[in-house]
Amino acid sequence: MTITAQEWKIYYQIEVALKTMGFWQRVLEGEKYVTGSLVPVAIYTIRQSFLQVIASEATEDVVKVLTRILLNDFDRRYHPTTQGQLKYEREALVGHGNRYISIHPYFFKAAFLDPQTHHFLREIMEADNFNQLKSDILNEAVGSLSMATSSDDPNNLEESSDPLEAPPANMLDILLNGIGGGGGMTTPNDQVNTAATAKQVCENEMYQLLLGNDFKMNMQNIEKTAYNCPLSWWKSSAHRFKNFESLAVKYLAIPATSAPSERIWSRAARVLTVTRNRMSEEVTSAMMYCRENKELLHKYYAEVARERMHPDDHHLIQRQQDLLPTFENEEEADSKLMLSDEDNKL
């Protein structure tokens, strides 16, 4: 088949039109870095790339038609504003075929709490919509703090004769009692005061979080082996924003796609052969755990072993570490993970 110069030009322009979408697909399928918070950024960037292709005078008409179809599909799925900005919905919208027709609110919350994407999120959302997202996250933090505080209130618990069942004192209660000079006595207004105090505490934390210049991190590069991790930022800042740290971990831990899970099952199919499936559930689970955490296993084995083993046995650590499975070349005949003919007869 002979391809003309005009056809080559069209193929090239189609490749350009799909390039941004292909890039973000690879990014969102990653498993070694946070991906959920990148979803709003990806959707907005892909849509903008379609608009640029359509607006270019050099783009062939047939390519513009194809790109408009993709753009219309994006708009039907994600309902941007008339200005092309993303719209945050408090509840996930589900359409025909039980498919989402909006960006899930969890991804917006993850992007808000990610120092990589927070500032970009302000630019791709309308101000009122962004403030609604901010308010929802604040209210969720207030609710969590109020619940934790009220659950630690002795007046809300049944009396117990077992001192081991008594809940630990809440640090916020201790602090407030210390400031007020009280001895732990309660009043009918305690519940209202606790709710008001929880809101004030969270509002102050939110203000300090958004005011500070350190709530910013460069976007990660998927081509690198080391990644900028927003979870590390929150871990180091937990003492300053403790009421939002748990929310950040909750939402940032959500993967953007199911690709990482599907890869695990694909690898499991190679590791768990018909014969190995006869092993007990505990052994199978241990094998898969070692397979998915092999890098950490090899990296920290010696350190953990020194802490748990008697000093007289430390000389055995290296020998034991050499016996750890590497899970390399799993399907090759000389792999240590391949069962021998005698094993297959069992």
**What pLDDT, on the 0 to 100 scale, is given for residue 182?**
45
**What pLDDT, on the 0 to 100 scale, is given for residue 336?**
47
The number of beta carbons lying within 10 Å of the beta carbon of residue 118 is 18
What is the Cα–Cα distance from 202 to 44, expressed in whole angstroms?
A: 30
Contact 20, 42 (CB under 8 A): no
2-37 per-residue burial string, b: 16 or more CB within 10 A, e: under 16 = eeeeeeeebeebbebbbebbeebeebbbbeebbbbb
**What pLDDT, on the 0 to 100 scale, is given for residue 165?**
45
**What pLDDT, on the 0 to 100 scale, is given for residue 123?**
92
Q: Mapping DSSP to helix (H, G, I), strand (E, B) and coil, where does residue 342 land? A: helix
The number of beta carbons lying within 10 Å of the beta carbon of residue 196 is 13
**What pLDDT, on the 0 to 100 scale, is given for residue 110?**
96
Question: What radius of gyration do the chain's Cα atoms show?
Answer: 27
Dihedral angle over CA of 242, 244, 246, 247, nearest 10: 180
**What pLDDT, on the 0 to 100 scale, is given for residue 271?**
60
In sequence order, which residues have a C-beta less than 8 Å from that of residue 248 and are 6 or more positions away? Answer: 113, 114, 230, 231, 234
Q: Mapping DSSP to helix (H, G, I), strand (E, B) and coil, where does residue 55 land? A: helix
Residue type at 289 in one-letter notation: Y
Joined tokens for residue 198: 């929880």
Residue type at 224 in one-letter notation: K
What is the Cα–Cα distance from 145 to 149, expressed in whole angstroms?
A: 6
**What pLDDT, on the 0 to 100 scale, is given for residue 220?**
60
Tell me which residue has tokens 């809101």: 199
List, run by run, the mean pLDDT of 10-residue segments along the chain (346 residues). 89 95 92 91 95 95 95 90 91 73 91 94 94 95 83 50 45 44 48 71 91 78 66 90 93 91 70 59 76 80 83 83 69 47 43
Joined tokens for residue 153: 């209130």
**What pLDDT, on the 0 to 100 scale, is given for residue 150?**
67
